[in-house]
Amino acid sequence: MMSRRDSAEGQPQAEQDEQNEQDEQNELSWTAGPLDSVSVTAATSLALQSARSKSSLSEKSTENEQKYDNVSSHVWSDADYDSMLETIEKVESAGEIPNNRPSWANKTEYLLAQVGFSVGLSTVWRFPYLCFHNGGGSFLIIYVFLMFLVGVPLLLLEMAAGQRMRQGSIGVWKIVSPWLGGVCFIVGLYYSVLMTWSLFYLTQSLQSPLPWALCPLLENSSQFDPECVRTIPTVYFWYRHVLNASDKVEIGGLPVTHLSVCLFVTWLITCISMIKGLKSSGKMLYVSVFLPYIIFFFLLIRSLMLKGAGFGLKHILSAKVSALYSLQVWRRTGNQLFLSLGSGFGSFTAISSYIPRSNNCVVDAFIVALFNLLTSVTAVVFVFAIMGHYATKNFEKCYFKNAEEVRNLVVAGVLPPEASFPESLYQDISATYSAWVSSLPEDIRNVLLTYLTNCSLNEELKEVMEGPGVALVAFTDIVSVFKRPAFWAIIIFVFLVTLGLSTLMGIVQGIITPLQDSFSSLRKHTKLLTVSICAFMFLSSLVFVGPSGSYYVNLLDDYWASVPLFCVLIMENIAIVWIYGARRFLADIIIIFGRPIPPIYRWLWCYASPFVLVVLFLSTLIHLYLNPISYIAWNSSISNEVDQSYPSWMKILLIVLIVVTILPIPAYFLYTLYTVYFSASKTHSRTTVTFEPEAKGDILGSRPRLHSRQGLKKMSKIDKKLGGNLPAM
């Protein structure tokens, strides 16, 4: 029996060329197979058709198959890659199955969706607080370092996967877990409450005077509420009127009425914005992304003009060197980076799956990361300027209080008349007080200091920067420095509501897209699916608007969120970089862009990202194990914040939530590997893991899952196109 090569030589030249061209197209169609990844299948080598030709072709077949495997995983150089790129793209475009998947109207809406999801309330809610308590400038240095070492590469990984495979998080990460949307779901529940708080403040801003500007009067009395008198009006309003907070997490109750209404409005706005899919959400993004930045710019300018703003800004530049060597600082910075940037939730993948494959996601990843960094730094500058202003005001109040005490001591005869504080020094007391105390005789000064309060600007700044809700206090307090506080209060809380809306829309998109990819019938009922998800999430989030609801929010935000997030990031990194293959994935990106990208990404994906993620994951688990979990509670009897430990049943709840969200990921992952290798052992042949679209309809009419090496002639064609310079693996 003649071999295939002999048979080809006996054909007429025209028929042989036609056959060769057909073979080449078939082979190149096979090379595009792994790029259209949706599910995991086993691709096995097909036995040679004839026993007579087996012995003569075995060595050549092995050599050519090894060269072919190098094609799928090699990051081509310009010389290797240019000669085959055009052919691959033409064949892939010609053979690509038409996709009725919707797309963003333009690149602007796509970028707005990515930036809007990444830049949310946590950027201005927690970032300034963490920056102040973790080394100031050192925190910023670590944040920038981790962003470009790990944040941007993982962001690119998710964007490129969603864009290339045109699937949401479950489609792309199906090897990781079909329950990936669970993390996104739980985060969406308590994130909507953050937006609810801002929305309630917005409704309260529609009156004058503002309700948090003064302490309220007791009912049927002319006296102020003593609970408010013992603290400041803004803090009292936050705990008593906004949260209606209980003194302990164990003291529950029904959902607070006004917060429940605002929560319903929050989910109603989100549902309306997304009910028509990309058409409605894309238009809404112009408002929810552009408007916050315009407002934030004017707020920043105004804050820098306040007295004492410079003192607050000095703490940004004053980096603590010891913080650079603290594992806890690195852990907190890593947690903030991924919670703020948004990697691991599946939303970047879902959003990118609606953009054409030719889009340059490398540039997009840097744009999103830079916007996130710019907004975070701007939030730090704004909050530190405001807090510097209030620290200076409290500092001056301390001096005035001491001056009044000196006057009382002189009247009482404790101090001589020459110790009286001059009236002329009241004009600029912060600059003259220290000089006046130093000018007093030593004996009088020693007696005086025993009666006076020690005024420290640093201590005042530390006091006003306490509590993770410091940004909200800053936003409520800043309006007092404006001539029309009610107007500026409306502007500020419109800023916070729109900032939170774009992120919440991204979270919901990360839930809807995977469901539609897993159950294609849901694509025909987008409106019903959107309404159902928003309604269910509204009902589920009611637990967070009760009297102890804010303590549940703190539990999830401070202790739960980072653990499943790091686990998801680690597993998706393994799935793409180590199972699918970093080189193969880079080859996919090359075909997308039409040019190679820096090979450093492969090193970052294979080594830097897994190492950093594992260290952060383990350090977080160790921190949770060694340290008691606590929360800041409101003690109404003393009108002050106190540190409380969560009860044992809350710790059990935390463990259950972590296990429920993490366990399905490695379980499904190991099940998939077992299935693949079990199938391979049954076929007694070499098995490779590829990602391909699932066959639809008749299996015989679709592209076969078990691809055979279809001849040496086609291998020679590919070798010639690659210049015969494929390196050995």
Residue 441 to residue 419: CA distance in whole angstroms:
9
Residues of the chain with pLDDT > 90, as a percent, come to: 22
HSE, side-chain direction, 13 A CA sphere, residue 507: 28
Higher pLDDT residue, 722 or 282?
Answer: 282
Residue 480 to residue 156: CA distance in whole angstroms:
43
pLDDT value at position 608?
92
pLDDT value at position 677?
67
* Domains of the chain and CATH, by start: 109-394+474-623 (1.10.4160)
Give residue-wise pLDDT tens across range 238-254. Answer: 888 999 999 989 888 89
- The burial of 317, by beta-carbon neighbours within 10 Å (0-12 exposed, 13-18 middle, 19 or more buried), is given as exposed
pLDDT(606) > 80? yes
pLDDT value at position 704?
34
User: What are the start-end ranges of the H helices in 166-308?
Assistant: 169-172, 181-204, 226-229, 233-236, 257-274, 278-304
Give residue-wise pLDDT tens across range 357-395. Answer: 778 888 999 999 999 999 999 988 988 888 888 888 888
Contacts of 600 (CB under 8 A, 6+ apart): none
For residue 323, CA distances in Å to 142, 287, 352, 612, 708 come to: 9, 39, 37, 18, 58
Which of 9-13, 327-331, 423-427, 447-451 has the highest average model confidence (pLDDT)?
327-331
Whole-model pTM?
Answer: 0.75
Q: Is 711 helix (H, G, I), strand (E, B) or coil?
A: coil
Q: Which residue has the tokens 């998080």?
A: 169
pLDDT value at position 615?
94
Higher pLDDT residue, 291 or 97?
Answer: 291
pLDDT value at position 202?
92
pLDDT value at position 38?
33
Q: Is 642 helix (H, G, I), strand (E, B) or coil?
A: strand
pLDDT value at position 522?
85
pLDDT(424) > 80? no
Q: Which residue has the tokens 């494929």?
A: 726
Kindly state the tokens that stand for 623. 């921190």
pLDDT value at position 679?
66
pLDDT value at position 721?
42
pLDDT(21) > 80? no
The mean pLDDT of 114-118, rounded to a whole number, is 91
The mean pLDDT of 607-627, rounded to a whole number, is 92
**67-76, 536-545, 546-555, 629-638: which range is least confident on average?**
67-76
Residue 441: which pLDDT band, with cuts at 50, 70 and 90?
confident
Residue 560 to residue 553: CA distance in whole angstroms:
10
Residue 503 to residue 113: CA distance in whole angstroms:
9
Residue 679 to residue 683: CA distance in whole angstroms:
6
Give residue-wise pLDDT tens across range 664-678. Answer: 777 776 776 677 666
pLDDT value at position 466?
62
Give residue-wise pLDDT tens across range 556-576. Answer: 988 998 998 898 888 888 888
Assess whether the previous peptide bond of 441 is cis (omega < 30° from 0). no
Give residue-wise pLDDT tens across range 315-351. Answer: 777 778 888 888 899 999 999 999 889 888 888 888 8
pLDDT value at position 552?
93
Give one DSSP letter per residue of 618-635, joined into a string. HHHHHHHHHS--EEEEEE
Kindly state the tokens that stand for 52. 């007579």
pLDDT value at position 535?
96
pLDDT(419) > 70? yes
Give residue-wise pLDDT tens across range 629-642. Answer: 998 888 888 888 88
- The burial of 335, by beta-carbon neighbours within 10 Å (0-12 exposed, 13-18 middle, 19 or more buried), is given as buried
CA angle 306, 309, 315 (to 5 degrees): 170
Query: Annotated binding site, which residues?
Result: 116, 119, 340, 372, 499
Q: Which residue has the tokens 């969706």?
A: 113
pLDDT value at position 322?
85
pLDDT value at position 98?
40
Higher pLDDT residue, 460 or 335?
Answer: 335
pLDDT value at position 693?
41
Residues of the chain with pLDDT > 70, as a percent, come to: 74
First to last CA, the chain: 35
Strand 39-44 relative to strand 630-635, pairing: unpaired
Residue 121: which pLDDT band, with cuts at 50, 70 and 90?
confident
**366-370, 443-447, 618-622: which range is least confident on average?**
443-447
pLDDT value at position 180?
58
**142-146, 193-197, 402-406, 496-500: which range is least confident on average?**
402-406
Contacts of 10 (CB under 8 A, 6+ apart): 2
Query: Annotated binding site for Na(+), which residues?
Result: 116, 119, 340, 372, 499
pLDDT value at position 31?
33
pLDDT(412) > 90? no
Residue 88 to residue 95: CA distance in whole angstroms:
10
Mean pLDDT of the chain: 75
pLDDT value at position 78?
43
pLDDT(92) > 80? no
**220-224, 376-380, 467-471, 709-713: which range is least confident on average?**
709-713
Q: What is the DSSP code (8-state) at residue 577?
A: I
Which of 216-220, 375-379, 521-525 has the highest average model confidence (pLDDT)?
375-379
Residue 546: which pLDDT band, with cuts at 50, 70 and 90?
very high
Give one DSSP letter per residue of 125-148, joined into a string. HTHHHHHHHTTTHHHHHHHHHHII
pLDDT value at position 264?
97
Burial call 264-290: b when 16+ CB within 10 Å, e when fewer:
ebbbebbbebbbebbeebbebbeebbe
Which residue from 88, 87, 66 is spatially nearest to 727, judged by alpha carbons?
Answer: 66
Which of 174-188, 391-405, 428-442, 669-683 has the highest average model confidence (pLDDT)?
391-405
